[in-house]
Structure 1
Amino acid sequence: MKLIQVKRETIQENRFAPKMGRLNAKVTYVKSQFLGITIKTLHKYRETYYGEVKDCEECVLAK
């Protein structure tokens, strides 16, 4: 068993983009874990309506 692991998890979330308004997007979190306990979120990105992958820094949670 490894002590430190990197896990990827996809969740449906409501997001707000200034140009499109509210949208329901698949958000993928890349997290580092120590013995199965999440330590830190390394990166999060979302898939757009058109299939593009974008960083989540561009949109704001629930406005």
Structure 2
Amino acid sequence: MKLITVERKTKKEKRYAKKMGILYTNVTYIRKTVLGLPIKTLHKYRETYYGKTKDCHKCILTR
């Protein structure tokens, strides 16, 4: 049994970009967990319609 693991989980989120407006996209979170409890988010990214991956800092949640 491992104490510290790194997990990857995908959620559907609503994002907002100036050029595109409201965008529903799959956001993948990479989190460090201890005994199954999340401690820290290491990275989060989203996949575009064309298959490219982008960092989530470019899209904000509110207007």
TM-score under structure 1 length normalisation: 0.94
Structure 1: how far apart are the matches of 2:12 and 2:62? 13
Aligned residues: 63
* Alpha-carbon displacement from aligned partner over 1:11-50 (angstroms, at most 9, x marks no partner): 1100001111110000000000001100000000001121
Do structure 1's residue 38 and structure 2's residue 38 form an aligned pair?
A: yes
Match of 1:11 in 2: 11
Q: Which secondary structure state, in structure 2, belongs to the residue aligned with residue 57 of structure 1?
A: helix
| Corresponding residue number in structure 1 for 2:55 | 55
Rounded to whole Å, the distance in 2 between the matches of 1:9 and 1:38 is 11
TM-score w.r.t. length of structure 2: 0.94
The runs of at least 4 consecutive aligned structure 1 residues that moved more than 4 Å come to none
Across the aligned residues of Structure 1 and Structure 2, the Cα RMSD in angstroms comes to 0.7
- Please tell me whether the aligned partners of residues 14 and 62 of structure 1 are also in contact (alpha carbons under 8 angstroms): no
Stretches of structure 1 that go unaligned for 5 or more consecutive residues are none
Aligned to 2:57, the other structure's residue is in SS state helix
